[in-house]
Amino acid sequence: MDIIGGGTAGCPLAATLSKNFNVLLLERGGVPFTNPNVSFLDNFHITLADTSPTSASQFFMSTDGVYNARARVLGGGSAINAGFYTRASSRFIQKMGWDAELVNKSYPWVEKQIVHRPTFSHWQRALRDGLLDAGVSPFNGFTYEHKYGTKLGGTIFDRFGRRHTAAELLASGNPNKLTVLIYATVQKIVFYTTGKRPKAMGVIFKDENGKQHKAILGNDRQNEVIVSSGAIGTPQMLLLSGIGPKAELEKLKIPVVLDNRFVGKGMVDNPMNTIFVPLKKPVKQSLIETVGITNRGVYIEASSGFGQSSDSIHCHHGMLSAEIGQLSTIPPKQRSEEAIKAFMKNKKDIPIEAFKGGFILTKVANPWSTGDLRLVNTNVDDNPAVTFNYFSHPADLQRCVEGIQLVTKVVQSQHFTNLTMCVKQTTEQFLNNTVNANVNLIPKHVNDTKSLEQFCRDTVITIWHYHGGCHVGKVVDSDHKVLGVNRLRVIDGSTFTESPGTNPQATVHGNEDFKR
């Protein structure tokens, strides 16, 4: 078995498959264990802000103008995310056609190894109490289950603030049958094309020195190439390998193996908007621990403070920082690579004062707005062009407005004013604090903060739950085998039509265990 991508999906998949098969896991990034930016909760923001070529987080910007990130490290998204762990909703499992009993047996395999109970800071308590006051009830306590109301979920950060990633799940594999290569960037999948159907024969990859290698499958019929490169990497890999819309492939002179117009289509990202809440004194850093889940598909979460350990690796800061900056006012046609690089160069140190407070986040779950992914060239190291079309569907915009209204109620509650020791601010004051922050490259309408619809459009960011591009029934069948091709399978979030529950990592981990 050749598995492309040692991330949230690829690591548990490789571990379970190695019980019965010889497995080669190919990961383009390095290991998370020696990188303090990855390993500690304190450095969460720093990893995401690192735009250097060796970063565990590969910066990309969607054509919408929203900053985003792809994992480039063993462990994948679990090595760079905010750590929140929660299971999928029963509705999602039913929609995917999965065996619910088997799914629920698979989750504990992950939870026993890498999931912990959060410390539950004052900021998270204020969110819990504010949500309950605002009517997001009942309180469901600490649970991994997806339940309407307010709850406390799991985290992959232990009580010492150390991150536990999908890479640790590899320890469950059979060491005699599992080989893991890091800094192994797959260039493309290669095929036998002489039969009735193309058949995957292996992959071509390059090592850290740029030298090319081939990994060829054995003749056993059960041998496969499995692509687990995520919602950006997987459709990109299929396209680079000649599976996708014929006209697009021919334009880039990629030999067509299979014409499939659906590869890269149906890309979705859950839009997120935040309200910045200032404090008069520093607050303990916390990431996502508490969540409010409404039956309208609006989720409310929160983070607070800013940390940086003494051994952190300093880097450029260009993403999701709370600094005040107005690159967003540069018209779209003038947002050149040079302009972006110059902007990031001027942001060498994040002022700690900017993080003397916290953020309340509102996310629109299961958005109707969809986009697509297209290649811009044939270099696998470069990002493809990705469009999410945030809020293009009116129902998504309406739910964002409801989310902002709900966040305002929470922040104006007595629980938050007691914590912040600040005078209760009006909705407009909260919006003004946020709309002036540099959160994306979308031109701002700073004189129109009374319009919640405009605020949603202006300040949309990502919560990194993007998915799609290789949907079941269009690119893969119900067993995740690529349609029209033999010995090729896709197992990751690119097959999802929606994000499972509050956070996808639990389901992506567990999915790979029970799919086999």
pTM over 0.85, yes/no: yes
Distance CA 456, CA 403 (A): 10
> Which tokens hold the place of 254?
């990629």
Q: What are phi and psi of 343, to 5 degrees?
A: -65, -45
Residue 127 host element (H or E): helix 122-133
- Using one digit for the tens of pLDDT, what is the confidence trace for 440-454? 656 666 555 568 898
Distance CA 270, CA 466 (A): 6
The secondary structure of 142-197, three-state, reads ECCCCCCEEEECEECECCCCEECCHHHHHHHCCCCCEEEECCCEEEEEEEECCCCC
Structural domains in the chain plus CATH codes: 1-30+66-117+167-265+370-390+467-515 (3.50.50.60), 119-152+271-364+391-459 (3.30.410.40)
Give whole-number Cα distances, 185 to 30, 100, 256, 314, in Å: 11, 35, 22, 26
Chain mean pLDDT for the chain? 87
Ranked by mean pLDDT, which of 268-272, 341-345, 412-416, 511-515 comes out on top?
Answer: 268-272
Cα–chain center distance at 239: 21
Beta strand residue intervals within 429-498, DSSP E: 461-462, 488-490
Q: Which residues are annotated as a binding site?
A: 27-28, 73, 186, 464-465, 493, 504-505
- Using one digit for the tens of pLDDT, what is the confidence trace for 203-245? 999 999 999 999 999 888 889 999 999 999 999 999 999 999 9
- Using one digit for the tens of pLDDT, what is the confidence trace for 372-394? 999 999 999 999 999 999 999 99
Catalytic: 45? no
- Using one digit for the tens of pLDDT, what is the confidence trace for 458-504? 889 899 999 999 999 999 999 999 999 999 999 999 999 998 888 88
The active-site residue, picked from 146, 164, 316, 465, is 465
Q: Which residue has the higher pLDDT, 515 or 114?
A: 114
Ranked by mean pLDDT, which of 56-70, 348-362, 497-511 comes out on top?
Answer: 56-70
